[in-house]
Amino acid sequence: MGAATYDYESARALLSARGSALQRPFQFVIVAADFLLILLSYVVGASLRGTTVAAPADGSVGAGLFVGGVFVTVAYFHDVYATHRLLNLAWQLRKALLIWLMSLAVLAVVAFLLDSTDNLSRGTVLVFAAFGGTCLISLRVVWQAVFETSFARSRLVDRKVILLSLRSLDLTSSRFKDLGRNGFDVVHHLVLGANCDDDHWQRAIRDVIRQSHTADVDEYLLAIDWNELPLLRKLAPFLRVLPQPIRLLPDDPIADLVARPFLPVSGTVAIEIQRPPLSIFERLQKRCLDVGVALFALVLLMPLVLTVAVLIKLDSPGPIIFRQSRRGFNGKPFEIWKFRTMTVCEDVATTRQPTKKGVRITRIGRFLRMTGIDALPQLWNVLLGNMSLVGPRPHALAHDNFYDELISKYVYRHHMKPGLTGWAQVNGFRGGIPTVDLMEKRVEYDVWYVGNWSIWLDLKIMARTASAVLFQEAY
């Protein structure tokens, strides 16, 4: 028993040492490249602004050194330089941009606290921020191209693994087809078998160990389905003799469960099935984005707003702005603003949806609805805090009352502020929804957005909204 324990610990130590020896020089190169690129970006920014690049003591190069140090330190502890993360370009770009902005914010705070803001040229910092961010993003695109080469995969990124399962698998399915793109080189697929006796599993594990010695693998992937979970507890003692790491590769139901946030509770965990309302920090993020973009849009689009107001007044009698009661966050009512697009302005209590050839729609109103310009006054609702730039589109009160009884998840739409645009709208559900089936589809997209919100998702939806307005017809 002691000899077996000694062999296990020795094998694990050798594997760890071998992995560290391969990864440390490579990680050092990547860290050094980021640091030197940030420093070079500051030098370029100072040169373009005509600033004298002096010693670190005067705050010139020192600011670049400081930001570079903060960036690589935070990036390191967020696994940005981990080899298994380097192939995920989208993740790298998102993390790099976020950490870059945070590093610049730390520089601003430290400069303010040390009363040294006079030593920093605003122009230099702006050029540094833009040029440095562009360079960091470009560098990660270069990494992606380099790591796609067969040499990089075999020497730097790929981990040789043995895929274990309790039954035969379709390795062409989406669950397994991207293993190679994410750094896993599957050298063997071994089926352990389900509902087998202990002797069979012992023989199977010995065969796994023999195969791993032949192929010199780094770790194991265990593919388990939801209905096989009870067998995992029975199989676990046999897997403990393997000297390499073992990772679970779950099917979709398990993957969805383990991806959710959890809270330790007295030796076990409580898994989050429904996320709580946005945290204070998340609400601050969303509010800053709303106010900043809404103010910029109002200033930029003011000539268009004034032109539309004049055209509405000339086209038909009545007010320019149409106001209607809607439900916002947590069902709280508010008054929404829109450009008037119909000849009547009553706040109707029916569930009649607007139609493509509705006789109540004015000539200019049809164009405003088709292009989405009729919603521009809702930027004022955003500034007031009743709405957000992105969120479930608010429906008329009559529609809320009607669909709330027919669609079980409809009420979840009110867990987030309503928006000018939303996840449903950029996925083809703009304008009127004539049937209950189509409304259920819209609600599915809205509920998914509420449960998966992030500031990056908001930015993605805003970027896709322009395309939706151009190529999707609404009325």
- Give ranges for CATH 3.40.50 in the chain: 158-271
Residue 4's pLDDT is what? 35
HEC secondary structure over 81-94? CCHHHCCCHHHHHH
Average pLDDT, the chain: 77
Q: Note the pLDDT of residue 155.
A: 55
Mention every residue, 6+ apart, whose C-beta is less than 8 A from residue 449.
390, 391, 392, 416, 422, 423, 424, 457
Tokens 């500051």 found at: 42
What are 335-363's pLDDT values in tens digits? 999 998 887 655 554 445 555 555 578 88
CA distance 407 to 240: 48
Strand 268-271 with 262-265, pairing: antiparallel
Q: What pLDDT is stored for residue 84 in this prediction?
A: 63
pLDDT of amino acid 150: 57
- The per-residue pLDDT for 335 is 93
Q: Give residue-wise pLDDT tens across range 63-82.
A: 888 888 899 988 888 878 87
Least confident residue range of 82-96, 124-138, 384-398: 82-96
Query: What single-letter amino acid sits at 313?
Result: K
Which CATH code fits 158-271?
3.40.50
Please classify residue 11 by burial: count the beta carbons closer than 10 Å to its beta carbon, then call 0-12 exposed, 13-18 middle and 19+ buried. Answer: middle
Cα(315)–Cα(142) distance, integer angstroms: 55
Lowest mean pLDDT among 42-51, 144-153, 233-242, 406-415: 144-153
Tokens linked to 180: 């190679």
Who wins on pLDDT, 235 or 467?
235
pLDDT of residue 197: 67
Give the whole-angstrom CA distance, residue 43 versus residue 36.
10
